[in-house]
Amino acid sequence: MILVTGGAGFIGSNFVLDWLAQGDEPVVNLDALTYAGNRANLASLQGDARHHFVHGDITDRALVDSLLAKHQPRAIVHFAAESHVDRSIHGPGAFVKTNVEGTFTLLEAARAYWSGLADKAAFRFLHVSTDEVYGTLGAQDAPFAEDHPYEPNSPYSASKAASDHLVRAWHHTYGLPVLTTNCSNNYGPYHFPEKLIPLMIVNALAGKPLPVYGDGRQIRDWLYVRDHCSGIRAVLAGGRLGQTYNIGGWNEMANIDIVHTVCALLDELQPSPEGPYARLITHVTDRPGHDRRYAIDARKIERELGWRPAETFATGIRKTVQWYLQHPDWVQQVQSGAYRDWVAANYSARA
């Protein structure tokens, strides 16, 4: 049994689906169902006894304590977070609450639970984090390795950096068996359409402008979400305690090139009678404090654990665009909020 937090979000739901496709070890999935959490992502697990969904908050210590006591997980895989940089600029408070206080609450609950375990060495607390904690790179700089200094620039990345530091300290001070992963930008199915790639797909299909911040030459290192999931599984299985592992796709691309790639795929797969989708590209005001370049040096996880991404960007982005074309109902539900009514009608939480 493992406890996953945030398993109704983009990466967490992909992880839970992937985990239960690879084996039969059950999952307790604790998620607060914020705007980003969507039980429709887990619809294929309805009635599956291996998946126990719990609607609740990671800042609720009593709830976390009771879940650990009841289910006795051998590991916690911690995805739950506020994750969108633009939202963190608009309202940073929720980021400090969930990402910092929530991680602190989980660590304290995990420590209390772990200290009572007969087999302490077998327990794992795996903290899922981001490359954004390292700040921004110049064009000629080497990609982020695990020993790169922490230089977070947004409220989001600062809150994730704080959580990474707490996780590190709980290992060094209390001996909690922790692992941390810092991953680059993910893309793939179930990605909430406020992030670059799904927003461009969804807006293009709706004939809406495709807002590119500033000059569009900012660089991100894109990884298909299921490759991130396999990286996390590899670290959970074989990572050295107290270590961090950077996970990335070796795929640096400028935003404007991402947008053109998405437009070209849509032109091929679902052409618009109005003409090429690139006609909708609109340069807008830049994001405040916009990091220029992220890139991950993923050699450590490859060297120590033999992990490499299975998808190229060409294969992953094609799968992603096809998934959005095949799931207009999901997009409509997520955008309208109607999925919450659908969830209420179709599911009930069980602790």
Active site residue 156: yes
From the list ligand TYD, ligand NAD, none, which binds 39 (C-beta under 5 to 8 Å, kind-based)?
Answer: none
Residues 6+ apart with CB under 8 A from 83: 9, 10, 36, 156
Known catalytic membership, residue 227: no
Task: Classify strands 210-213 and 244-247 as parallel, antiparallel or unpaired.
Answer: unpaired
DSSP 59: T
CB neighbour list of residue 130: distance below 8 Å, 6 or more residues apart: 157, 160, 182, 183, 184
Q: Give the separation between CA 40 and CA 31, rounded to whole angstroms.
A: 13
| Nearest residue (beta carbon) to ligand NAD | 9
Summarize as ranges the residues that interact with ligand TYD (CB under 6 A).
85, 185, 195-196, 199, 211-213, 218, 220, 255, 287
Which one of ligand TYD, ligand NAD, none is in contact with 296 (Cβ closer than 5 to 8 A by kind)?
Answer: none
Q: Give me the amino acid identity at 145.
A: A
Nearer to ligand NAD, 177 or 189 (CB): 189
Smallest distance from ligand TYD to CB 141, Å: 17
Catalytic residue among 134, 156, 224, 277: 156
Active-site residue 294, yes or no?
A: no
DSSP H or E run through 52: strand 51-55
Determine which helix (DSSP H) or strand (DSSP E) holds 326, and give its type and residue range: helix 313-326
* Distance in Å, CB of 154 to ligand TYD, minimum: 8
**Per-residue DSSP letters for 104-120?**
HHHHHHHHHHHHT-S-G
Interface positions with ligand NAD (CB under 6 A): 5-6, 8-12, 31-34, 36-37, 57-59, 79-83, 98, 102, 128-130, 160, 183, 185-186, 192
CB of 223 to ligand TYD, least distance (A): 12
> Shortest Cβ distance from residue 36 to ligand NAD (Å)?
3
Q: Supply 274's token pair.
A: 């109005």
Residues labelled as active-site residues: 131-132, 156
